Amino acid sequence: MQVVPENGTPYMEKAPVPYPPVLHSLASASTITWLIHQKFELSIPLYRQEKEWEALGLRLSRATMSNWLLVVYRDWLVHIVHRLKLELLKQRYLHIDETHVQVLKEPGRSGKYPEAFLREYEGYIHTDAYSGYNAVSGVKRCLCYTHLRRAFVEALPPDQKKKERLIREKPLLEAFWSWAEKSAIGELPKSKLSKAFHYALNNREGFWNYLEDGNCSISNSLAENCIRPFVIGRKNWLFSGSPKGAEASAGIYTLFYLTLTAKA
């Protein structure tokens, strides 16, 4: 812009430019925000965004967009995610659910992942019966009765589901476990009802733990409902190209839906 001093010769001065989210690129903060909105809220994969930009007259490859998101997460957003994790692990009660996504050339889903995330954490964790959490030490698991109920409901024909309500508290739980032990004996090993009984009996301790503290919940539906937007997106974009890409995706989902929850 041109500067005209009161006394002297006019000269040109460059206006200050906002620090770019991605150095040496044309990506502005609003462009990155739009990509995040499209992919993580509307579940539109990058290859479809590439076609949309091309229809508007701009050749913007999915590889470029992917790199922008990786750099923005690495240089900016990851610090917020790490801070959130530190605050999370200070809490006494956690609701946890996990879902997998294929990372190219990186198959695997084992107990080392929850163990690494929850290392040094002590408290109650609300989970399903996924065996991967057995590797986590120093915690007490409160298993989800929604899963237990589902196993029995799915074993029943539709006309009986409405009649069956397995909402029980401590006075009835003792009768329930006694009944399960006796009834499991006469069931065919591969039947759905037999599997339901064994799911209950093999995880009995975890189903009892919520009674120890009034702040614990009987269900883990809170965490499971939060994971649904990710599952919808995964159906569209199918996989992550690298472990760093998967980490960036998970981190951006965390921040995006945490913001939506805070607004609500």
> Would you call 249 exposed, middle or buried from its count of C-beta atoms within 10 A (0-12, 13-18, 19+)?
buried
Distance separating alpha carbons of residues 208 and 141, to the nearest angstrom: 9
pLDDT, position 120 = 86
Handedness of CA 22, 23, 29, 35 (dihedral sign): negative
DSSP 38: I
Work out the percent of the chain whose per-residue pLDDT is above 90.
33
- In whole numbers, what is the pLDDT of the chain averaged over residues? 83
pLDDT, position 166 = 44
Residue 264 has pLDDT above 70, yes or no: no
Query: For 65-121, how does the pLDDT look when each residue is reduced to its tens digit (9 = 90+)?
Result: 999 999 999 999 999 999 999 999 999 999 888 877 767 566 565 678 888 889 889
SS3 of 12, please?
strand
Q: How many helices (H) and strands (E) does the chain have?
A: 13, 7
pLDDT, position 212 = 82
Distance separating alpha carbons of residues 240 and 104, to the nearest angstrom: 6
Query: For 153-202, how does the pLDDT look when each residue is reduced to its tens digit (9 = 90+)?
Result: 778 775 665 455 444 467 788 888 898 888 888 888 889 999 999 999 99
Q: Would you place residue 27 in the very low, low, confident or very high pLDDT band (cuts 50, 70, 90)?
A: very high
Distance separating alpha carbons of residues 22 and 191, to the nearest angstrom: 56
Supply 91's token pair.
Answer: 């809490």
pLDDT, position 263 = 65
pLDDT, position 167 = 47
Question: What ranges do the domains of the chain cover?
Answer: 1-88+227-264, 122-221
